[in-house]
């Protein structure tokens, strides 16, 4: 069991994928988190992308919008972490990715510590994504699942040096943590005790981390149910929930009542509530640099595939 700073009983964070986030919904969620003392991680897009019939549902506001950028800067000032959710919701070739990182740095004072890659049928610069999230026989299983779902082609090329979408070397230079596997357990660290870890087979990413699945308000609330909160506390674990606050957490200007109640209860517990990179930095400080073994990677891949087959969206 890990000991947490200040003798806290457990650690908790949220990584918010910025899909669908606008000034009409996101500030309502973050005002509430701030009020409850939960400092978490919000991702951003730097540039607007293209609008297609099949991606209208996921588009949110980007840092190109001055008012939105001002609000994100205010969040940073309040102690929230700002992470990168790829350059844009659309694909970007290498130069545009580098430009996005430079713009991020000019807005927030430093490179993003954390990258959470966007998933889209045309988001080609994502790295080790799609079928390349897994290897060996697990890749064949992944392809079979995707084929069953009608999505066959692997379109992600961020790690392929011959591709116009290659930027792996830049990622290695400028970004510390990248998100990968997702689990259904509230105790993310129990499922992935080695995180954050380096994977020698995926050399352009410095350190990977896992997250617990809560992509929309119902799954998020299920993840932090009172029973799960008690278990996380009893196990002395760490939870990093991955979600999309821009989806259905706020409807007609009102924040979901169950979410409010569960967050209020959680915030009153003796937990260490910090942005995700701070939590991961602490694990690195405690455990040093960790390199994943073939057998541990294979175990995580199988866990994730099984999870994806049953419920997973990310």
Which residues are at the interface with Zn ion (CB under 5 A)?
17, 19, 118
Please report how close the Cβ of residue 86 comes to Zn ion at its closest, in angstroms: 8
Distance from C-alpha of 271 to C-alpha of 241, rounded to nearest angstrom: 15
Nearer to Zn ion, 34 or 55 (CB): 55
Please report how close the Cβ of residue 85 comes to Zn ion at its closest, in angstroms: 6
Please report how close the Cβ of residue 120 comes to Zn ion at its closest, in angstroms: 7
Please report how close the Cβ of residue 15 comes to Zn ion at its closest, in angstroms: 11
DSSP symbol at 159: T
Cα of 265 vs its chain's centroid, Å: 23
Q: Are 209 and 196 in contact (CB under 8 A)?
A: yes
Please report how close the Cβ of residue 19 comes to Zn ion at its closest, in angstroms: 4
Nearer to Zn ion, 244 or 297 (CB): 244
Write the DSSP assignment of 30-96 as a string of letters.
HHHHHHTT---EEEE-SS-----TTTTTT----TTSHHHHHHHHHHHHHT-EEEE--S-SS---HHH
Angle separating helix axes 66-78 and 26-35, nearest 10 degrees: 10
Nearer to Zn ion, 60 or 135 (CB): 60
Nearer to Zn ion, 16 or 199 (CB): 16
Q: List the beta bridge partners of residue 239.
A: 12
- 122 φ, ψ to 5°? -130, 25
Nearer to Zn ion, 19 or 81 (CB): 19
């Amino acid at each position: 069991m890990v000991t947490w700073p200040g003798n806290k009983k457990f650690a908790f964070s949220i990584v918010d994928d910025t899909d669908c986030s606008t000034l009409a919904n996101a500030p309502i969620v973050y005002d509430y988190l701030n009020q409850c003392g939960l400092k978490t991680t919000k991702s951003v897009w730097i540039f607007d992308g293209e609008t297609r019939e099949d991606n209208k549902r996921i588009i949110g506001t980007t840092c190109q919008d001055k008012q939105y950028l001002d609000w994100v800067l205010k969040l940073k000032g309040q102690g929230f972490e700002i992470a990168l959710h790829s350059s844009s919701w659309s694909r970007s070739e290498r130069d545009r990715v580098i430009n996005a990182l430079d713009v991020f740095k000019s807005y927030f004072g430093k490179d993003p510590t954390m990258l959470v890659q966007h998933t889209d049928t045309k988001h080609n610069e994502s790295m080790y994504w799609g079928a390349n999230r897994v290897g060996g026989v697990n890749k064949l299983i992944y392809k079979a699942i995707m084929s069953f779902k009608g999505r066959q082609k692997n379109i992600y090329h961020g790690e392929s040096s011959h591709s116009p979408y290659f930027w792996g070397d830049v990622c290695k230079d400028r970004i510390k943590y990248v998100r990968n596997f997702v689990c259904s357990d509230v105790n993310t660290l129990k499922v992935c005790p080695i995180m954050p870890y380096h994977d020698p087979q995926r050399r352009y990413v410095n350190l990977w981390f896992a997250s617990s699945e809560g992509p929309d308000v119902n799954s998020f609330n299920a993840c932090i149910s009172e029973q799960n909160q008690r278990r996380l506390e009893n196990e002395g674990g760490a939870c990093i929930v991955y979600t999309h606050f821009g989806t259905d957490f706020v409807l007609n200007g009102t924040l979901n009542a169950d979410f409010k109640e569960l967050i209020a209860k959680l915030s009153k517990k003796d937990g260490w509530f910090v942005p995700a990179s701070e939590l991961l930095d602490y694990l690195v400080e405690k455990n040093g640099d960790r390199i994943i073994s073939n057998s541990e990677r294979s175990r995580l891949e199988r866990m994730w595939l099984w999870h994806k087959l049953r419920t997973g969206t990310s």
